[in-house]
Amino acid sequence: MRRLDLYIARTIALAVGAVLLVILGLDLIFAIVDQLGELEGDYQFADAVQYVAWTLPDRIYEQLGFSALVGCLVGLGTLAGTSELTVMRAAGVSIGRITWAVMKPVLLLIVLGMALAEFVIPKTNQVAESRKAMALGELEASGLEQGLWLRDGGEFVHFNAALPDGVLYGITRYRFGEDRELQRVEFSERGRFDGEQWLLENSRATTFGADRSMSEITPRSEWQTDILPELFALVVPLPSDLSPRNLWSYGKFLDRKGEDSSRYWLQFWKKMLQPLTIASLVMVAISFIFGPLREVTTGLRVFTGVIVGIVFQTLQDMLGPSSLVFGFPPFIAVLLPILLCFAVGWLLLKRAR
C-alpha cells in the first residue's frame, strides 16, 4: 500500500507542478508586457524584468489553489484514463485511501504557501515596489496616491514606501489642533530608527499661524512617537503584501487607534484559511474524477477545472468587498466559498460510493 500511495502522490505532484509552471509562464509574460507601459526615466526594461522577478513568490502563492485544482484533475484523470483507478477500486482500495494519497503532496503545497506568505512575500514585494518607486522617482515627492496612512495622536502620517530593514521614505506628517484646523505640515525624505528614537533627514515643514505661515528646512531632526520600527516594517502599498502575523498585529493596532481595519482582517483570513481553500478545491477535483468526469477527455477536465477555479475566485472576490461594504465579518466572507466547495465535494463523493 505504501508503494501505491507513493505512485499516486508522485503522479499528482508531477501534474500539479506542470500546471503551475504553465500558469506561471503565462503570468510572467503578461506581467512583463504590462510593465512595458510604465517604462520611463530610470525605469527601463531590465528594471521591469527585475521587478517581475521579485514578485515571483507572490505569483506562485496566488496560483497554488488553482494549480492544485487543475493538477489533481489532470493527474487523477490520467489514472482514470488508463483504468488504474478502476483496478485500485477493484483491488479493494477505498476512495478515502486514494483521497489521502492525493492529499499528501497537496500538504507539501500548503506548507510551501504558508512559508511564502509569512517569510518570503512581504520582503520580496516590498523590495520590488521600493526599487520600482526609486527608479521612477516617486520617493522624492509626497505622492499620496500610494503608501499607507497612520494616525499618531494628533497627527496623520503618510509613508510613500519602506524597505525591509525598516528605513522609511517619503514621510508626510499633518498636525491638527483641537478645532481641527491644520497647524503644521512636514515632509521628510528619509527616516530611520537608531535604537531609541526616529531620526528624520531633509525635512521641510510649514507651520500655519493665525495671520501668517512660516517654513523651515531641517537637515536632521528627531521624531517622538510611541510606534515601534516593527510596525513600520508593515508599510507597503497593499494589505495583501503583508504576512499573516503582521496583518494580525497591524489589525490590532488599527483597532486600538479606532481606525477601520476591515481590509486587513479580510486579507488576514484569506491567508490563514488558504490551506483550507486548497484542500477544498482538491476535494472538488477528486469528487469530479470519481463522479461526473470519470470518463471524459483531459481537455474537458482542464476546462472544468478552469471554470470551477474562476467561479470560486469570483465568489471570493464578491464576498470579500461585500463584507467591507455591508459590515459582516470578513471571516465569514472567506469561509463561505470554502464550505461550499467542501459540501459539493462531499456530496459527489458520497454519491460515487
Beta-carbon neighbour count of residue 45 at 10 Å?
Answer: 11
Which stretch of 129-138, 159-168, 275-284 has the lowest confidence by average pLDDT?
A: 159-168
What does each C-alpha distance from 248 to 245, 263, 335 come to in angstroms? 5, 12, 18
The pLDDT value given to residue 200: 94
What does each C-alpha distance from 21 to 17, 28, 159 come to in angstroms? 6, 10, 36
**pLDDT level of residue 111 (50, 70, 90 thresholds):** very high
Beta-carbon neighbour count of residue 5 at 10 Å?
Answer: 16
CA atoms within 13 A on the CB side of 29: 6
Distance CA 184, CA 203 (A): 13
The pLDDT value given to residue 166: 63
The pLDDT value given to residue 236: 47
Residue 138 pLDDT > 60: no
Distance CA 318, CA 333 (A): 9
Average pLDDT over residues 211-239: 76
Residue 176 contacts by C-beta under 8 Å, 6 or more apart in sequence? Answer: 154, 155, 156, 182, 183
List the end-to-end C-alpha distance of the chain, in Å, as a whole number: 21
Distance CA 330, CA 115 (A): 23
**pLDDT level of residue 235 (50, 70, 90 thresholds):** very low
C-alpha cell at 205: 515643514
Residue 256 pLDDT > 90: no
Residue 286 pLDDT > 90: yes
DSSP 143-187: -TTSSEEEEETTEEEEEEEE-TTS-EEEEEEEEE-TTS-EEEEEE
* pLDDT per residue as tens digits for the range 171-180: 899 998 888 7
Q: What percent of the chain has pLDDT over 90?
A: 54
* Sign of the alpha-carbon dihedral angle for 230, 233, 238, 243: negative
Residue 288 pLDDT > 50: yes
Burial state string for 113-122 with b = 16 or more CB within 10 A and e = fewer than 16: bbebbeebbb
* Sign of the alpha-carbon dihedral angle for 216, 217, 222, 224: positive
**Strands 155-162 and 168-176, how do they pair?**
antiparallel
* pLDDT per residue as tens digits for the range 65-81: 999 999 999 999 999 98
pTM of the model: 0.78
Grid look-up 497537496 returns 106
Of residues 133 and 338, more confidence is placed in 338
The pLDDT value given to residue 47: 93
**Strands 182-193 and 213-223, how do they pair?**
unpaired
Of residues 227 and 126, more confidence is placed in 126
Residue 190 pLDDT > 70: yes
Residue 131 pLDDT > 90: no
The pLDDT value given to residue 162: 64
Grid look-up 495622536 returns 153
Q: How many residues does the chain have?
A: 353
